[in-house]
Amino acid sequence: MSKPAIFNRRASFCFDRALQLLLPLFLYLLMVSLPGIAAAPEEEADLAKEFQLTLDALQKQYGFPGATAAYILANGTIGLAATGVADMETTTAMTVNSRMLPASIGKTFVAATAVALAQEGILDLDTPVSQWLGEQKWFSRLPNHNVITLRQLLNHSSGLPDYVHLESFSKAVSRKWRDNDNPFPPEDLLCFVLDLPPLFEAGKAWAYSDSGYILIGLVIEKATGRSYYNEIKERFLKPLSLTLTTPADSRFLPGIVAGYMAADNAFGFPRKTTTADGAMVWHPGFEWTGGGLVSNSRDLVFWGKALFEGHAMSGPYLAELLKSVAISPDTPDIQYGLGVGIYRTGPFGPVYGHGGWIPGYSSSLRYYPDHGTAIAFQINTDIGIAENTNNLMHTMESQLAGLVISANNRVKAAE
């Protein structure tokens, strides 16, 4: 009766010993037959290191105070990096959670809201905006007021002058930036372009205009009966868990880093954007739906990937968002859709996205549809960028894209 028991123990020992001897060979053969098991994580780890090193090298090369950057690969892998300082005076280090003003990247949220409302039948993109704002006393004084449509406002073909670059606006800001409350409600911003001649017949050319996006914000609020900021909170910020993105509707924006600008800037602002207690020196509310957010590179890549892969809202909205016009007859491949810049051709294929500039901060969001990859970065200065005297933004976009997309392709091949 004992033999079977002895046999079983010996058999078990022999099996265990054989497994110990054969397991390394089995695992080796498995790794050879399925190279993605080891190769993909290794590629991703190498990319994360190189991404940080590249950002560090760019900071040293150009001497900007600091930056954050982020990417998302086609498989959803996320990479975050930060370099330099968030405050030059205190030498506080920049972190991956540091926040800055992304400026006109906020237009992507405005356009997404307008397209969502159109899909819901609340707005019509091709109906003149006079349907919503025509009763306002100031409306008839707008250039092209009787014909401009939401689509033309969204793609910058309305012919409205841009208040941001008018001398009258710069002078007004210089006088009023010390006000603690927002000195320029939306209607006041439009006052700077009232009674001016249109830049061109609506729909016949292209000219970037924040004025048009202020009008879009007013239309959204009139059509929905809710504030614009409530709309994007409920539609995008909460559902997509963009926790580091909030309205820039106060001088007190938690987590915002100090930005730096030229001492002789057009608005007469101090060189540094924040005070000792972290508050903004000037109220950022003058941007509103021309941008109007405080955000972070991580949130921006999440948003870019969701928006440009068709997952930011329900319905087939992406084709509408990407309906575009050329910004110039001389550059037919450079186009603008509904709140999105489009490069039809490039070294990595098409590019969708937006840049952002506001005194003290510069930002970029780009999505590469051929590669399923999004990249964003924010820099806490606009020196040399606002004046277009250096190629920092282009260099960062090119170098980071080359690095990330090459790694993305290797990861896809290994999976």
Residue 258 belongs to domain with CATH number: 3.40.710.10
> In the block, which residue shows the tokens 């800055």?
100
CA distance 192 to 216: 16
Residue 62 inside a domain? The answer is yes
pLDDT in tens, 159-183: 999 999 999 999 999 988 887 777 7
For 385, the token pair is 């960028």
According to DSSP, the residues that pair with 294 across neighbouring strands are 246
DSSP states along 13-71: HHHHHHHHHHHHHHHHHHHHH-THHHHHHHHHHHHHHHHHHHHHHHHHHH--SEEEEEE
Nearest to 77 by CA among 301, 358, 324: 301
Instruction: Please state the domain count of the chain.
Output: 1
How far apart (Å, rounded) are the C-alpha atoms in residues 220 and 149? 13
Residues of the chain with pLDDT under 70: 1-40
Strands lying side by side in the sheet with 361-368 = 92-93, 78-87, 66-72, 373-379, 361-368, 351-358, 341-343, 334-336, 325-326
- Cα–Cα distance for residue pair 24/30, rounded to 1 Å: 10
Task: Confirm whether 148 is domain-assigned.
Answer: no
- 368 located within any domain: yes
Using a cut of 0.95, tell me whether the model's pTM lies above it. Answer: no
Is 30 contained in some domain?
Answer: no
- pLDDT for 39 equals 53
Q: Is 226 helix (H, G, I), strand (E, B) or coil?
A: coil
In a domain, 18, yes or no: no
In a domain, 92, yes or no: yes
Dihedral sign from CA coordinates of 392, 288, 190, 220: positive
Question: What pLDDT score was predicted for residue 234?
Answer: 98
Q: Is residue 338 part of a domain?
A: yes
Residue 397 lies in a domain: yes
Burial of 112 (0-12, 13-18, 19+ CB in 10 A): buried
Write the DSSP string, 140-170: GGSTTTTT-BHHHHHTT-S----GGG-HHHH
| Domain interval for residue 376 | 49-122+229-414
Structure tokens at 45: 């780890």
C-alpha dihedral over 97, 98, 99, 103, to 10 degrees?
Answer: -110
